[in-house]
Amino acid sequence: AHEFCAAAGGGGGGAGGCGGGGDGTRILIKGGTVVNAHRAEEADVYIEDGVVVAVRPNIPVGDDNVRVIDATGKYVMPGGIDPHTHLEMEFMGTVTIDDFYSGHAAALAGGTTMHIDFVIPVNGNLTAGLESYKHKAEKAAMDYGFHMAITKWNDEVSREMEVMVKEHGINSFKFFMAYKGSLMVTDDLLLQGLQKCKSLGALAMVHAENGDAVAEGQQRMIDLGITGPEGHALSRPPVLEGEATSRAIRLAKFVNTPLYVVHVMSTDAMEEIAKAKREGQRVIGEPVVSGLVLDDSWLWDPDFATASKYVMSPPIREAGHNKALQAALSSGILQLVGTDHCTFNSTQKAFGSDDFRKIPNGVNGIEERMHIIWDSMVETGKITVTDYVRVTSTECAKIFNIYPRKGAILKGSDADIIILNPKRSFAMGTRTHHSRSDTNVYEGRKGKGMVEVTISRGRVVWEDGNLNAVPGAGRYVRTPPFGYFFDGLDKSDAVYRASLRAPVRRGEAAAA
């Protein structure tokens, strides 16, 4: 056990405890540049029992039982944390092809050592949803946490939200403003949910698209005879993402609770977040890898199998949006990078071969995120190495209140660590990836930087192209409520309450 257990660790939801691997493994990483979000330094890292024990220069090799890894000329960084994934998710009449084993294998091979997945309630029931996801996660090969979606509203759901936060370590709830007829919520539900989240110290997350207008846009395309994947982009343009983002932001302001906007895909949505932040509102914007580096030209590919790979929601946008989102990530308007890893193979995508509305929505990314962000953002000079650690790991740990157990290489942190060689190059695609999918939206992509070693809670799980992902080795990480985004919120509530009393005082003064 270690010092962060009491605050952020502990077993939960029937899953294991926190902290060390407990197998006595000792590792000394020598000669690298250790990068945390707050600084980079030349230092060695000593790991024992799954936990970082020391970070300083020239740590002597104690005895023969210590495994020494040479990191000269390389970056030693916290393992990636992916805030947004859908493993073994039932969606659009099928189930995502990567489960908590294959998804974790892919993640570890790509330098990601933790993710937070979205529990989907069963017929609106949160407890049944959690039971189902606990079972799915028994084969976990790396650490994971849960967000939970809210898909219907009644007193029972409201009570269950409290139970999820207080007993099951879930501190975030997602509201889908799209997917009419399945996951979509109304403004009424969103308002109830925002208020409940505020009272519990839980973070409200939104999938921001106007679902009613999307349904209208889809019918319009079908009426025009546009049934191919390009109809997906045409039916749900950026304006619908901008509208829903603005609406969610304003409702969160009305309730005075923090808001996390998932998969920001367009300039329209990003500008709404920028505006709210300028006005002092607590809004978090999450771009995903696909939105940062791809463009919608793929959706016009005449080959259905190619085009359908790129169908996700909100859609991948016209070139230009991606560069604007990269700039927003550089400047801090957007804070952390997810993937929305939600993979369907070519057979599943073919369900929509004569109607784009039936193409299961989602793309891969859990294995590719760390390399693509390094290559597209650090190699190009758009962000620094410390920023890289912040947007791929630390910020996620802070937002979901598990820092510094996760998201840092500090004494007492879990030993989730990667070693990246900036001189080597990567090439990605189905031939080498670890996802179960037969396709990859980053097929053939090459770039600079290679994660040579991944350490998951003190065990070397990826080294020189060899993967050792062990089913059942991953632990559930509880996320406690009232993360830093809630600090001082009570003060602005007090100011608001005082402002309501002002007219009464004027009346009293007049009467006196």
Say how far apart CA 12 and CA 407 lie, in whole Å. 20
Q: Measured from the CB atom, is 213 or 312 closer to ligand URP?
A: 312
Contact 137, 101 (CB under 8 A): no
Q: Identify the residue among 30, 115, 198, 207 touching ligand URP (CB under 6 A).
A: 207
- 313 is a site residue for ligand URP (CB under 6 A): yes
Structure tokens at 281: 């509102």
- 393 is a site residue for ligand URP (CB under 6 A): no
Whose tokens are 């939200």? That residue is: 161
Say how far apart CA 20 and CA 17 lie, in whole Å. 9
Q: Identify the residue among 74, 104, 115, 207 touching Zn ion (CB under 5 A).
A: 207
362 touches, from ligand URP, Zn ion, none (C-beta below 5 to 8 Å by class): ligand URP
From the CB of 309, what's the least distance to ligand URP, in Å? 12
In this structure, which amino acid lies at residue 391?
Answer: V
Residues of this chain, 456-475, that bind ligand URP according to CB under 6 A: none
Q: DSSP letters along 400-437, please?
A: TT-TTTSS--STTSB--EEEEEEEEEEE-STTT--SS-
Q: Measured from the CB atom, is 362 or 407 closer to ligand URP?
A: 362
Structure tokens at 82: 């992916």
Contact 100, 118 (CB under 8 A): no
From the CB of 361, what's the least distance to ligand URP, in Å? 3
Q: Identify the residue among 29, 35, 325, 342 touching ligand URP (CB under 6 A).
A: 342
Q: Measured from the CB atom, is 136 or 253 closer to ligand URP?
A: 136
Say how far apart CA 80 and CA 101 lie, in whole Å. 17
Q: Measured from the CB atom, is 343 or 439 closer to Zn ion?
A: 343
Residue span 326-365 as binding mask against Zn ion, x where in contact by CB under 5 A, dash where not: --------------x-------------------------
Residues of this chain, 3-42, that bind Zn ion according to CB under 5 A: 5, 18-19
Task: State the CB neighbour count (10 A cutoff) for residue 501.
Answer: 9
First to last CA, the chain: 65
From the CB of 141, what's the least distance to ligand URP, in Å? 22
From the CB of 207, what's the least distance to ligand URP, in Å? 5
Closest listed residue to residue 457, CA positions, set 8, 30, 35, 22: 22
Structure tokens at 341: 């890893």
312 touches, from Zn ion, ligand URP, none (C-beta below 5 to 8 Å by class): ligand URP
445 touches, from Zn ion, ligand URP, none (C-beta below 5 to 8 Å by class): none
Closest residue to Zn ion, based on beta-carbon distance:
19
From the CB of 256, what's the least distance to Zn ion, in Å? 24
Helix (H) or strand (E) run with residue 371 in it: helix 369-373
- 312 is a site residue for ligand URP (CB under 6 A): yes
Q: Measured from the CB atom, is 341 or 390 closer to ligand URP?
A: 341
Residue span 257-286 as binding mask against ligand URP, x where in contact by CB under 6 A, dash where not: ------x-----------------------
Helix (H) or strand (E) run with residue 103 in it: helix 102-109
Q: Residues in contact with ligand URP, total (CB under 6 A)?
A: 9
From the CB of 236, what's the least distance to Zn ion, in Å? 12
Q: Backbone dihedral region of 296: left (phi > 0), alpha (psi from -120 to 50 degrees) or beta? A: alpha
Q: Identify the residue among 112, 192, 348, 361 touching ligand URP (CB under 6 A).
A: 361
Q: What share of the chain is helix, strand, coil (3-state, %, to 5)?
A: 35, 20, 40
Q: Measured from the CB atom, is 3 or 355 closer to ligand URP?
A: 355
Q: Residues in contact with Zn ion, total (CB under 5 A)?
A: 7
- 362 is a site residue for ligand URP (CB under 6 A): yes
- 329 is a site residue for ligand URP (CB under 6 A): no
Contact 439, 363 (CB under 8 A): no
The Cα angle at residue 200 between residues 172 and 211, in degrees rounded to 5 = 45
Structure tokens at 251: 């409702």
Name residues whose C-beta falls within 8 Å of residue 167's C-beta, 6 or more positions apart in sequence: none
5 touches, from ligand URP, Zn ion, none (C-beta below 5 to 8 Å by class): Zn ion
Alpha carbon separation from 246 to 32, 208, 250, 251, 313 (Å, rounded): 44, 9, 6, 9, 17
From the CB of 263, what's the least distance to ligand URP, in Å? 6
Name residues whose C-beta falls within 8 Å of residue 88's C-beta, 6 or more positions apart in sequence: 95, 96, 98, 99, 100, 103, 136
- 86 is a site residue for ligand URP (CB under 6 A): yes
Closest residue to ligand URP, based on beta-carbon distance:
361
Contact 405, 413 (CB under 8 A): yes
From the CB of 302, what's the least distance to Zn ion, in Å? 28
- Cα 377 → chain centroid: 18
- The stretch among 203-211, 304-312, 383-391, 462-470 that binds Zn ion (CB under 5 A) is 203-211
From the CB of 311, what's the least distance to ligand URP, in Å? 7
Whose tokens are 């995508």? That residue is: 349
Q: Measured from the CB atom, is 232 or 405 closer to ligand URP?
A: 232
From the CB of 222, what's the least distance to ligand URP, in Å? 19
Over the range 228-251, which residues count as b (16 or more CB within 10 Å of their CB) and which as e? bbbbbbbbbbbebbbbbbbbbbeb
Given the rule CB under 5 A, which residues bind Zn ion?
Answer: 1-2, 5, 18-19, 207, 340
Contact residues for ligand URP, defined by CB under 6 A: 86, 207, 263, 312-313, 340, 342, 361-362
